[in-house]
Structure 1
Amino acid sequence: EREFGRVAAGLKKRFPDMPVEYGFLEFSAPNIHMGLNSLIDQGVEEIYAVPGMLFAATHAKNDIPSVLTTFEEKKGNVKVAYGNELGLHEAMIEAFQARIYESLGLDSNNPPDQLYDTMLVVVGRGTSDTMANAEVAKLTRIVNENMGFGWADTVYSGVTYPSVGEGLERLVKLGFKKIVVAPYFLFTGRLIKRIYGYVDHVAGQFPDSEFIKTPYLNDHEKV
């Protein structure tokens, strides 16, 4: 929650003349209704709602639009426009690659010619939405072609397959001595800790390979 709040604070600084609030769909406060009501209290009549999610699965496609539509119908005098998820925007890909370079101790502004001795494993959230899962695999392909790893593959933290633990156990058998595990997540939480725990477990089983844990995206700022 604190990290998402920092993102909202950063947007407020970037757009000082535009009221900015945020809200969560579930589990945490402020919820979406609280954020919307705060904007209305400030005199806003037209609201742009943007899902702070990497890919469009059930929440972004169905749950959030339902909440916004119900709110708009109930209020009557406010218009709510719904934006797109973050997706595979060029800036998001650049931020992800910067995190990977950072974990390797390399300068993203002066990258090496090749990383053929290293394997990249991208960890996606994993959902019941096939297209959202496919977008993670697409990200892996893009990053691998941009950065030049010897091999790259995708695993998921839940719902779909291959899972992080099972995927790593299979991929390590390809023989790479250096394996970068990069979670494509905006913020930390139990899932990130669980992912890193799986990495440590597999690393203990295969001591001849070096496992490198890439930081999650967080509120990355391009400099």
Structure 2
Amino acid sequence: MTDTILLIGHGSREREGNDEIQAFAAQWRQRQPAWQIEVCFIEFADPGLHDGLLRAASHSRRVLVLPLILNAAGHVKMEIPEAIEHAREHAPGTEFLYGPHLTACDPILAILKRRLAQAMAELDMPDPTTTGVVLLGRGSSDRQANGEMAKMARWLQEETQHELVDLAFTGITYPRLERVAQRQALLGMKQIVVLPYYLYTGTLVQRITRQVEHLRVQYPTIRFASTAHFGHEREIFELMEQRVLELQSGAPQSRLPCDGCKFREIAHDLGHGHSHEHTHASAPTAPSLA
């Protein structure tokens, strides 16, 4: 039997976001027709993480687990590894290999630069030194996940002529978009480009659209441009294909930043895994679950 590639999306309360991940998988199957590609979600959509792992194990001797996620926070560091441990217990005849998340890297930077160039064209090519840029992400309680975004903002500044590239978050941590826009206005920016750091749509992406409209009302003398999320760009497919080939070639699996840390060990011992769903599909090799 061939490998099964299990693509893990975050999942959204908005069906459109989940449909976009399914559409990504469909396009990926067209790019790689020899690959067996399946999809599951961490939360808000079916199949869930546990069921997706056991379903893949039911017809494969090896499952390549690939998170379609930009930054490594609790889902990538704790929830998915815990689900894989569970799947190994209930499908002992299947090998599970866990690939890294997309992370801050040059291909993602290339997407951001291209989106920024498109926004500047929409604004009729203003002076970049008077055009502020805001890289706007979801935000996390994990400082390393926020740090990956900070790295991308710094790289974007170094690769362009924009003197002001700031970071903002839609939730969990700060600063928020409104505060950053206020700062850029005080510093004399005549235009502001908002670059959402999101792969797929959902409630937070819809919130960004509303927030930018509010800012246009608050700052009528500043021109705003906001780009779309970027989950179906060529670089995303190529990064995921690179992950598959690395796992198939036997390359060492990446060690997560929190592997072995005392906080993960304590959370595991106390049963505080960050799981949102607990239904389990049965695999042929798995004992029945009560």
TM-score (norm 2): 0.70
Paired letter, 2:146: N
Using the alignment, how far apart are the partners of 1:31 and 1:11 within structure 2?
20
SS in 1 for 2:53: helix
Correspondences of 1:25-40 after superposition (within 5 Å): 25-40=42-57
* 2:61 matches 1:45: yes
Matched residue, 2:287: none
Unaligned runs of 5+ in 1: 107-111
Task: Write the distance in 2 (CA, Å) between the matches of 1:100 and 1:31.
Answer: 35
Equivalent residue for 2:178?
165
1:26 offset after TM fit, Å?
A: 1.2
Aligned residue runs from structure 1 range 123-162, under 5 A: 123-162=136-175
Higher relative contact order (CA 8 A, sep 6+): 2
Alpha-carbon distance between aligned partners in 1 of 2:99 and 2:197, rounded to the nearest angstrom: 21
The amino acid across from 1:200 in the alignment is: E
Q: Does 1:205 align with 2:207?
A: no
Deviations along 1:49-80, whole A, 9 cap, x unmatched? 01111010011100111111101111111111
Aligned-partner Cα distance in 1 for 2:57–2:79? 22
SS at match of 2:121: coil
Cα distance in 1 for residues equivalent to 2:97 and 2:199 = 23
- Is 1:97 aligned to 2:110, yes or no? no
Letter in 2 for 1:119: G
Deviation of the 1:163 alpha carbon: 1.2
SS at match of 2:134: strand
Unaligned regions of 5+ residues in structure 2, if any? 1-17, 236-290
Aligned-residue sequence identity (percent) comes to 31
Question: What are the equivalent positions in structure 2 for 1:181-192 lying under 5 Å apart?
Answer: 181-192=194-205
Instruction: Report the residue type matching 1:195 in the other structure.
Output: I
- Aligned residue-pair number: 215
Contact 1:25 1:31 (8 Å CA) reproduced:
yes
Following superposition, which runs of at least 4 residues in structure 1 exceed 4 angstroms of deviation?
none
Q: Distance in 2 between matches of 1:38 and 1:20?
A: 12
| Gap change, CA 1:159 and 1:153, over 3 Å in 2 | same
> Which one has the largest radius of gyration?
2
Give yes or no for contact 2:40–2:48 (8 Å, CA) kept in 1.
yes
SS for the counterpart of 1:104 is helix
* Maintained 8 Å contact 2:135/2:197: yes
What are the superposed Cα offsets for residues 172-194 of structure 1, whole Å, 9 maximum, x if unpaired?
21111011011110011110111
Distance, in Å, in 2 between the alignment partners of 1:189 and 1:18 is: 28
**Is the contact between residue 22 and residue 32 of structure 1 (CA under 8 Å) also seen in structure 2?**
no
Distance 1:29 1:142 in 2: 36
Which residue matches 2:29?
12
State the match for 1:109 in structure 2. none
Partner of 1:82: 98
Q: Aligned-pair distance for 1:33?
A: 3.2
